[in-house]
Amino acid sequence: MIDHVDFAVSDPARSRALDAQVLTAGGVDCGTPGLRTRYHAHYYAAYALDPVGHVIKAVCHHPH
């Protein structure tokens, strides 16, 4: 089973920063930071798989 760890962040820059930290620590990109308008107009997220197998998501729901 893969666990998801979701972080609500205040702006897209924080989403990108968390994604970069996971990748620097040896994680694998699972969704480049960007808008995911299929969810809603302001859904900005990044997804990465950390070195031990957790999906890390940093999402911002605010207009940017």
Fold that domain 4-60 belongs to in CATH:
2,3-Dihydroxybiphenyl 1,2-Dioxygenase; domain 1 (3.10.180)
Sorted by where each begins, the domain ranges of the chain are 4-60
CA distances (Å), origin 25, targets 20, 34, 44, 55, 56: 9, 21, 22, 14, 12
Lookup: tokens for 47: 């997804």
In this prediction, residue 15 has a pLDDT band, given cuts at 50, 70 and 90, of very high
* pTM, entire model: 0.84
Residue from 54, 59, 51, 62 nearest 18 by CA? 59
pLDDT at 1: 56
Average pLDDT over residues 30-59: 93
Question: What's the rounded Cα separation, in Å, for the pair 9 and 38?
Answer: 19
Radius of gyration of the chain (CA): 11
